[in-house]
Amino acid sequence: MASDITEPDRQAADPPPFEVINADGGAGYLLTCDHASNALPAGYGTLGLEPTVLARHIAYDIGAADVTRRLATALDAPAVLSAMSRLFIDINRHPGHKQSIVEESDHVVVPGNRDIPAAERAKRERDWFVPYHDAVTSRLNAMRQNAPPALFAIHSFTPILDGFERPWHVGVLYKNDLRLARPLITAFEAFPGVQVGDNQPYSGFDPAGYGIHVHGAALDIPHVVIELRQDLIDTHHGAEAWAGRMAAAIRSAVRESQPWEMPGH
């Protein structure tokens, strides 16, 4: 799919804007990972940051890509993963939103994003943001030819933010669509010792989020965001363990919530 994208200004050394894995998976639902990578395009250096900053949570969702890949295999589900750091452009923010291209994140100034012209913002949106979301739309449209699809957005969150230790192991975010959220929360709560955030540590009601609203709510596709705490999945062992729990929880939630109907039926 990446080969179909026009790339007028991207360089040969740059990765494609997204990666699709298990494209023909038969699960009937799509996985997305908006903040899968901490990569930056050639020519932008480190955006003026120390290289160690790019290993922090402000650059990407630590462990989320590892979990998503394992889930795609375990569930036989297609997945779309972003290939660019959220510091370059946040795939999960509306274009023009103040958090779309941040000048500061978690008290860290991003020099390469300060006072950039409108043309540069438009270029990042055109070359990286739009192709990713086009890939998600394309995959969902293909799946709709067979049966109503569902959407699971995989994210991760830092254990401590602004001095607050977040107690949740996993969070389930939703707005008005409870078809997947409620049975998913129930499934996670069935695991011994697992503390589940019900619209925590973030909320599905936050209008800043982009993907789940555009690809899920706007199309009346069953959808939910799953947030995993990063210290639980920052090793392959942890990612494998949590991918196993998530696969079981997702299967249970899908069983409880089906059948889904297409909008208008």
Reported as a pLDDT band with limits 50, 70 and 90, residue 196 is: very high
Reported as a pLDDT band with limits 50, 70 and 90, residue 257 is: confident
Q: Tell me what pLDDT residue 12 has.
A: 55
Give the pLDDT confidence of 96-126 residue by residue, as tens digits. Answer: 999 999 999 999 999 999 999 999 999 999 9
Q: Is 88 exposed, middle or buried (0-12, 13-18, 19+ CB in 10 A)?
A: buried
> pTM value?
0.93
Residue 65 parent element (H or E): helix 64-75
The CATH architecture assigned to 2-257 reads 3-Layer(aba) Sandwich (3.40)
Residue 114 contacts residue 57 (beta carbons within 8 Å): no
Given a cut of 80, whether residue 153 has pLDDT beyond it is: yes
Q: Tell me what pLDDT residue 82 has.
A: 98
Domain definitions of the chain by residue range = 2-257
Given a cut of 90, whether residue 204 has pLDDT beyond it is: yes
- Which of 60, 119, 51, 114 lies closest to 87, judged by CA? 60
Residue 214 contacts residue 140 (beta carbons within 8 Å): no
- Which of 150, 137, 181, 158 lies closest to 35, judged by CA? 158
DSSP class of 201: S
In which residue are the tokens 């299967």 written?
251
Q: Tell me what pLDDT residue 218 has.
A: 93
Residue 199 contacts residue 172 (beta carbons within 8 Å): yes
Average pLDDT over residues 188-198: 98
Q: Is 98 exposed, middle or buried (0-12, 13-18, 19+ CB in 10 A)?
A: exposed
Reported as a pLDDT band with limits 50, 70 and 90, residue 5 is: very low
Q: Which of 99-113, 181-195, 250-264 has the lowest mean pLDDT?
A: 250-264
Given a cut of 70, whether residue 2 has pLDDT beyond it is: no
Q: Tell me what pLDDT residue 222 has.
A: 96
The verdict on whether omega for the bond into residue 259 sits within 30 degrees of 0, i.e. cis, is yes
Average pLDDT over residues 75-102: 97
Q: Tell me what pLDDT residue 80 has.
A: 99
DSSP class of 129: I
Looking at every residue in the chain, the average pLDDT score rounds to 93
Q: Tell me what pLDDT residue 11 has.
A: 58
Crossing angle of helices 236-257 and 181-189, rounded to 10°: 130
Residue 154 contacts residue 196 (beta carbons within 8 Å): no
Average pLDDT over residues 225-241: 99
Reported as a pLDDT band with limits 50, 70 and 90, residue 259 is: confident
Average pLDDT over residues 154-162: 97
**CA Rg value for the chain:** 18
